[in-house]
Structure 1
Amino acid sequence: MITKATIEDVSPLNTLINSAYRGESSKKGWTTEANLLEGSRTTEMELNQILQDSKNTVLKFTENRQIVACVLLTQKENQLYLGMLTVSPELQNSGIGKKLLAQAEIHATILGLPKIVMTVISIRAELIAWYKRHGYVDTGARELFPVSDIHIPISEQPLEFIVLEKNIE
């Protein structure tokens, strides 16, 4: 079941997102960043701030009363930004990510936004290919990867974001 996350969901969302992106647990899934980055993917403080901003919607996918997937949707001018698409490593390749992408398109349509944009680390070829199979295209735009005390690069390759978008009209 896909519903909007609330402040009460911050702790389980934080656990889910960090388990899917970083550390040993993330290596069970194919979307891990553990070979590229150390540190956390997010924090409870960041998630609280996200959920308190009216431009943001976090959708959660719940199974057996447990949050097993989520996605951040942010209204930015005339487009919807999609970020932090997360599926529990044990459930990746089960179609949940595809369901959240479809729900993001519905959300954009309801808001009257003609396209969805996202950033993906440029060397994540498998992930970029997955998004392309779902209708996203590389815009050619690139953004610097933000290095911070929670995003600590360990990759030999320099990290940057590519910008992908999908027109939904």
Structure 2
Amino acid sequence: MTINKLISPATEQDIPALDKLVNSAYRGESSKKGWTTEADLIDGLRTNEYGLREMLQTPNATILTYEEADKLIGCVYLEKKGADLYLGMLTVSPEAQTGGIGKQLMAAAERHATELHCTAITITVITIRHELIAWYERRGYQPTGEKIPFPNNPNIGVLKQPLEFMVMKKVLV
């Protein structure tokens, strides 16, 4: 039996499903089924429909979605910033993690960066997420040394402890 898989740009109609997917993968009890949870670090929602709509309306930005059998199970936010492509909100449903979907979305992001003539992809990762940092390093991302404070914004969560982001970069050849 063949399962239909599709990676494509998100549309306004995808926003409710994206909201549900992203929040289920990062926060709350459902996120603890996967290894990418932030539930022990941050309370509240990871995003909301308003924030997702803003992301979709950002110039030079897109959200790629990953569907299997017409069900949304992954996404990634991409935004061209100068010569770099910023990659954020890489999300895979907790039930589908470790199945290679994240790798497929990363490969799609690299193709997108190449199409836009970007020379590198940058990401931000919470500095204490060592397993996630190692995952990105295995895919060619290296720390730049730059650190960014985690925003104090209840619309994207309430910190349970002080957090900061590290910037990582992969140079494209």
- What TM-score, normalized to structure 1? 0.97
Q: Is 1:124 the counterpart of 2:129 in the alignment? A: yes
- How far has the Cα of 1:55 moved from its partner? 1.3
Spell out the pairing of 1:1-169 with structure 2 (5 A cutoff). 1-150=6-155, 151-155=157-161, 158-169=162-173
Query: 1:54 & 1:163 partners in 2: Cα distance?
Result: 22
**Percent identity of equivalent pairs:** 52
Distance in 1 (CA, whole Å) between partners of 2:15 and 2:135 is 27
Q: Give SS of 1:98's match.
A: helix
CA distance in structure 1 between the aligned counterparts of 2:101 and 2:130, rounded to whole angstroms: 20
Q: Where does the alignment leave 5 or more consecutive residues of structure 2 unmatched?
A: 1-5
Superposed displacement of residue 54, structure 1: 2.8
Which amino acid in structure 1 is aligned with residue 164 of structure 2? E
Aligned residues: 167
Opposite residue 159 of structure 2, the aligned amino acid is P
* 1:64 Cα deviation after fit: 1.2
Deviation (angstroms), 1:5: 0.5
Q: For residues 45 and 67 of structure 1, what CA distance do their matches in structure 2 show? A: 19
RMSD between aligned residues: 0.7
Q: Which runs of 4+ in 1 moved over 4 A?
A: none
SS state at 1:75 partner = strand
Following superposition, the deviation at residue 52 of structure 1 comes to 1.5
